[in-house]
Structure 1
Amino acid sequence: MNPQSTLNPSRALEGVHGVHLVSRSPFVTEDIPQNGEFDQSISEGSAFGANRKLLMERIWQHRPPYLRPVHCNIPGDHNVTETIANVLTSLPFIALGIHAPRKNLNGKIYANSLIGVGVASSLYHVSRGELRKYLRWADYTMIATTTVCLSRALRNENPKLLMAASAAFLPFQPFMVSVVHTGLMEVAFAKRAFKDPDLRMAHNLHKMSSIMSGALFVAEDFFPGTPYVHAAWHLAAAVGVGTCNKLLE
């Protein structure tokens, strides 16, 4: 055998039955040019996604303090006088809890939770240092617990799924739980006042106090250096709570 034929595949396959050799491969490979517009759209899409993610992270980092699970958002109690004012204005919640109607188990639980609000608020305002932020969380959580108890006392037929979800979110997002159950209470109060003329005066007072307490709650975040705003919020909220007790009589 010729050595060249062994090295040349075309020579080696000559004469083999069924094999037909051609001078070049019928399959032609060509480089496909990259589409610049396609790459640009990918890069633009990636940049948009990155910017949106960064925006969401910034929004989450700058969310209102009351949406943070454990956060001391109130720089109040700047001095002893303000601390005393905040503690004294927490005491009405204890008094409201003591005098709240206790006609059934749900009413008793709600009344005791009101006492807990006054105690938690007082402990928070006299606290200092690292303990303060945890007592602030306890304060928010106690308020949320009271709204759940009031909602249960007014509407025993609340969906079990709602109550289970409220219990699950209570330690992590007490403010959101408060918003949901306060809304349920407001609806129940409006319906009762519409049917019962004797409740309309209490309902009107409740609406005014709720608007005032909401405005003070927001103002406290926008004007953190203003003294006695938190104490004023305590008083407005206490008036609103007192009118709610009319629903349980």
Structure 2
Amino acid sequence: MSIHRVWQQRPAFFRPIQCSLHGDEHLIQTVANVVTSLPFIALGMQAPSAYWNGMMEAAFAKRALKDPDLRMVHNVHKMASLLGGVLFIADDVFPKNSYLHAAWHLAAAVGVGTCNKLLQ
């Protein structure tokens, strides 16, 4: 089997996103692209890092060990997070199945919703 053939048969999640293959054609397009991305850059600077997310997860687990009321909520949070991760990967493996994309959003919403109990 040739290298070219193996390369063409790689899974979708290893393929780069095919946006614009030729880039911006005019200066106005470049300016418009930069201006419309500024809000997302600002939002990204304010987004929580993986470090703080991990710290919150650890605090949730510690409190769940001590507080029996939080134990059930933490179990739901844990399972929703695991299910969301599996569905997220499955969405990449089976891109034509639109229900998987919606399902991982729902699992993520359940996982985030259980964090409210931690704040009480």
TM-score (norm 2): 0.60
Pairing partner for 2:108 from 234, 237, 248: 237
* One-letter identity of the residue aligned with 1:194: L
Pairing partner for 2:72 from 191, 198, 201: 201
Render the CA deviation track for 1:117-143: whole Å, top value 9, x for unaligned.
xxxxxxxxxxxxxx8xx78x94xx56x
Q: 1:236 to 1:199 in 2, by over 3 A?
A: same
**Superposed counterparts of 1:1-249, under 5 Å:** 138=40, 145=47, 148=48, 177=49, 179-249=50-120
Aligned-partner Cα distance in 1 for 2:95–2:114: 29
Render the CA deviation track for 1:22-57: whole Å, top value 9, x for unaligned.
xxxxxxxxxxxxxxxxxxxxxxxxxxxxxxxxxxxx
The 3-state SS of whatever aligns with 1:228 is helix
Structure 1 runs, 4 residues or longer, greater than 3 Å off? 62-65
* One-letter identity of the residue aligned with 2:114: T
Residue aligning to 2:30: none
Q: For structure 1, which runs of at least 5 residues remain unmatched after alignment? A: 1-61, 66-70, 73-130, 149-176
CA deviation after TM superposition for structure 1 residue 198, in Å: 1.0
CA deviation after TM superposition for structure 1 residue 180, in Å: 3.0
Aligned-partner Cα distance in 1 for 2:118–2:59: 9
Q: How many residues align?
A: 88
The structure in which a higher percent of residues are helix is 2
Aligned-partner Cα distance in 2 for 1:201–1:223: 32
Aligned-partner Cα distance in 1 for 2:16–2:74: 29
Q: 1:243 to 1:230 in 2, by over 3 A?
A: same
Q: For structure 2, which runs of at least 5 residues remain unmatched after alignment? A: 1-13, 20-32
Give RMSD over aligned pairs: 3.1
Aligned-partner Cα distance in 1 for 2:54–2:15: 22
Aligned-partner Cα distance in 2 for 1:233–1:191: 26
Aligned-partner Cα distance in 1 for 2:68–2:57: 16
Aligned-partner Cα distance in 2 for 1:219–1:182: 23
Q: 1:218 to 1:64 in 2, by over 3 A?
A: farther
Larger RCO, structure (CA 8 Å, separation 6 or more): 2
CA deviation after TM superposition for structure 1 residue 228, in Å: 1.9
CA deviation after TM superposition for structure 1 residue 221, in Å: 1.5
The 3-state SS of whatever aligns with 1:185 is helix
Aligned-partner Cα distance in 1 for 2:63–2:85: 22
